[in-house]
Amino acid sequence: MTPRPAEQSTARRSNWHMLNYLVPVWLVAAASVAAGWQLAGPPQDLVALLVFVVLGVMSWLVRENDVGSRVSFSFSSIIILASAVIVGPVGAALVGIATAIPVLFSRRVPARVTAFNVAMLASVAAIGGLVYRWVDGAPDLRQLEGAGEIIVRVGLPLIAADVCQCIANAVLLAFVMRVANGVPMRTQVWRLLSVTGVAYVGYGVIGFLFVVLWIPARVGAFSALLVLAPLFVARWAFVQYGEELRSHERTLRALVTAVETKEPHNAGHSERVAQLCEWMAEAMLLGHKEIDDTRTAGMLHDVGKVAMPTRLLGSRQPHTDDELVTMAGHALAGVELVKDVDFLSGSVDGIAHHHERYDGRGYPDGLAGEAIPLAARIIAVADAFECLTSARSYRPALTVDAAMAVVRGQSGTQLDPQVVEVLVKALLRHEWTVTARTPDELASAGVALDHDEPQVSDHIAFTERLHTRITGRAATLHHAGEEVR
C-alpha cells in the first residue's frame, strides 16, 4: 500500500516549488545509493536482480489505484524489501527505479511527479538495504543453518529494514506535501503511518517468506510464484476495502446534494466548511481518525436542513422568531438522519453541537467551553468564517482579513478562542478564496440573514425568550427521542 499524494498535491506548483522538493529527494536517493555501494558494493546475483526488476514492473501494472484516503495498493513494497536482502542496497535501488518505469509511458502523470516517485522509490529501497546490513543482516544466506540462525540473521534485520522503509516512505511523502501544500510534516507523517503502518507489518512477513523460500529453502526464483497467491488475495481484500470507502463517499455526496438541492444559492458551503475543518484539525495535530471524523462532520453539519421548510431557506423577508426556532432544529434533525449509519458515528457530536457557543448561550443543549465537543467547536469557527467569506444577497463576500476580524470579535463568546487562533495558523499555510455568487444565485437566496452569520448567533443568544424557546424545544426533542429508543 503506497500513499500517492504526489499526483494531486503537486499538479499546480511552480518550477520553484518543484525544485524545492525534487532536489532534496534526489540528493537523499544519491546519498543512499552511494552509501549502499560503499557498504555492500554492486549487486552480485544479476539473475535475481533481473527477476526482481520484472516483478517490480509487474507490481506497478497490477496495482489498485484507489483503496481510499488517496492510497493505492501494489506489491512493490514487498518486492523492494525482499530485493534489499537478496541483491543488496544498490540492487534494491535499481529495483525501485524499475518499479516506476511504467509511469514513464503515462501521459497522465507529469514529469515532475515521475521524477519524485523514482527518487523516492530508490531512496526507500536503498535505505532498507542499508539498514539490513547495518543491523548485521546476513549478506550470504546460503551459509545459514537452522531456523534460529535464519530468524536472528535474516528475520530480525529484515523487520528493522521494513520499519525503516515505512518511516522513510512517510517522511519523504510528508516532505513533498509540506513544500507543496504547507501541511505540517509531523501531522502528515503520523497520518501516513496510521494508514500504512499495519500494512508494512504484512510486507515484512511476506518479504521474509519470499527471502527464505528463495535462498535457505533453495526454491530460487520459483518462490516468486509461491508468494503471488497471497498477494493477489491481499489485493482483492484491499479492492473491497476501497470500494467500501468509495461507497461511504458516495453516501456523503448524496446527503450533501440533498441539502444543496433545497438551498442552491449556498452550493459548496458544506465542502468548504469541511476543508477548513480538515486544515484546523491537522494544525491541532489530531489523529487520522479524528481528522476524518471532523471533516465528515463539517461536510454534514447542515444535513438536517433537508427537514426544514424550503421557504425558510430562501426567505423573501427577515426570519421571525418562530422561523428561527424552526431553523434551529436542523442540528438535531441532522443527528436523526445519520445516527444509525455506522461509519458516521464519530461525526454525530460535531453535527449535533456545531451551534453551541463557548459562553454557553448556544443550542441545542447550552453547552459551554470545553464541554462542547472539539469537533463542534472547530465546525463553529469554520462555519462562521465560510459564511462571512461568501457573497450574500444582503452583502458582498468579506475579504479574508475582514472575515477574520469578525471571527476574532466572536472569540470567547460565540467561538473558542484557541480554535480561532488555530484557524489563523491554518490560513497562513493554505490559500483561501472568497466565494462570489452570480446575480441569479443571489436573487434566489432571499433577504433573510443566513443562520450562520455571527449576528444571528448573537441575536439568539441574547434574546432571552427566543433562546429559551430553542433550548426548550431541543430538550423536548431529546426526551422524545429517548422514549422512542
Domain end, chosen from 198, 216, 244, is at: 244
Cell 538495504 sits on residue: 129
pLDDT at 230: 67
Sign of the torsion angle spanned by Cα atoms 33, 35, 41, 44: negative
Asked whether residue 254 is assigned to any structural domain, the reply reads: no
Determine the average pLDDT of the residues in 363-386.
95
On whether both 191 and 312 belong to a single domain, the answer is no
pLDDT at 231: 67
Question: pLDDT band for position 2 (50/70/90)?
Answer: very low
Determine the average pLDDT of the residues in 70-90.
81
Asked whether residue 253 is assigned to any structural domain, the reply reads: no
On whether both 211 and 285 belong to a single domain, the answer is no
Question: pLDDT band for position 461 (50/70/90)?
Answer: very high
Give CA–CA dist 18/340, Å, rounded.
46
**SS3 label, residue 11:** coil
On whether both 328 and 419 belong to a single domain, the answer is yes
Determine the average pLDDT of the residues in 192-202.
74
Question: pLDDT band for position 58 (50/70/90)?
Answer: confident
CATH number for position 331: 1.10.3210.10
Cis peptide before 42 (omega within 30 of 0): no
**Residue 415 DSSP one-character state:** B
Cell 479524528 sits on residue: 290
Asked whether residue 459 is assigned to any structural domain, the reply reads: yes
On whether both 223 and 309 belong to a single domain, the answer is no
pLDDT in tens, 15-47: 555 666 788 889 999 999 999 999 999 998 898
Please give the biggest Cα pair distance in the chain.
87
| 146 φ/ψ sector (left φ>0, alpha ψ -120 to 50, else beta) | left
**SS3 label, residue 72:** strand
CATH number for position 164: 1.10.1760.20
Considering its fold, how many domains does the chain have in total?
2
pLDDT at 42: 92
| Helices 185-214/156-181 angle, 10° precision | 150
* Cell of residue 190, nine digits: 503520523
Give CA–CA dist 479/485, Å, rounded.
10
On whether both 306 and 171 belong to a single domain, the answer is no
- 3-class secondary structure for 26-65? HHHHHHHHHHHHHHHCCCCCHHHHHHHHHHHHHHHHCCEC
Asked whether residue 255 is assigned to any structural domain, the reply reads: no
pLDDT in tens, 115-159: 888 899 999 999 999 999 999 999 888 888 788 888 999 999 999
Question: pLDDT band for position 228 (50/70/90)?
Answer: low
On whether both 198 and 336 belong to a single domain, the answer is no
On whether both 343 and 433 belong to a single domain, the answer is yes
pLDDT in tens, 285-321: 888 889 989 999 999 999 888 888 877 777 777 888 8
Give CA–CA dist 412/415, Å, rounded.
6
Tell me the backbone φ, ψ of residue 105, rounded to 5 degrees: -100, 10
pLDDT at 4: 40
Between strands 2-3 and 71-72, the pairing is: antiparallel
pLDDT at 256: 82
Domain range enclosing 104: 2-244
Minimal CA–CA distance to 376: which of 356, 396, 350? 350
Question: Between residues 184 and 407, which one has the greater pLDDT?
Answer: 407
Give CA–CA dist 153/151, Å, rounded.
6
On whether both 280 and 148 belong to a single domain, the answer is no
Domain end, chosen from 198, 213, 244, is at: 244
Determine the average pLDDT of the residues in 54-67.
72
Q: What is the DSSP string of 376-413?
A: HHHHHHHHHHHHHTB-BTTBPPPPHHHHHHHHHHTBTT
Minimal CA–CA distance to 353: which of 331, 326, 386, 322? 331
pLDDT at 35: 95
Minimal CA–CA distance to 30: which of 81, 83, 90? 90
Q: Is the pLDDT of residue 255 over 60?
A: yes
Q: Is the pLDDT of residue 234 over 70?
A: no
- Cβ neighbours of residue 21 under 8 Å, at least 6 residues apart? 10, 116, 175, 176, 179, 180
Asked whether residue 435 is assigned to any structural domain, the reply reads: yes
Tell me the backbone φ, ψ of residue 362, rounded to 5 degrees: -95, -165
Minimal CA–CA distance to 223: which of 241, 206, 240, 235? 206
Asked whether residue 14 is assigned to any structural domain, the reply reads: yes
pLDDT at 235: 65
Question: pLDDT band for position 417 (50/70/90)?
Answer: very high
Q: What is the dihedral of CA 255, 261, 262, 268, to 10 degrees?
A: 80
pLDDT at 315: 75
On whether both 201 and 273 belong to a single domain, the answer is no
Please state which of the ranges 1-5, 80-84, 400-404 shows the lowest mean pLDDT: 1-5
Asked whether residue 251 is assigned to any structural domain, the reply reads: no
- Are the CB atoms for 300 and 255 separated by under 8 Å? yes
On whether both 273 and 387 belong to a single domain, the answer is yes
On whether both 276 and 321 belong to a single domain, the answer is yes
Domain end, chosen from 196, 216, 244, is at: 244
* Cell of residue 180, nine digits: 507543496
On whether both 139 and 14 belong to a single domain, the answer is yes
**Residue 151 DSSP one-character state:** I
Asked whether residue 250 is assigned to any structural domain, the reply reads: no
Give CA–CA dist 318/309, Å, rounded.
15
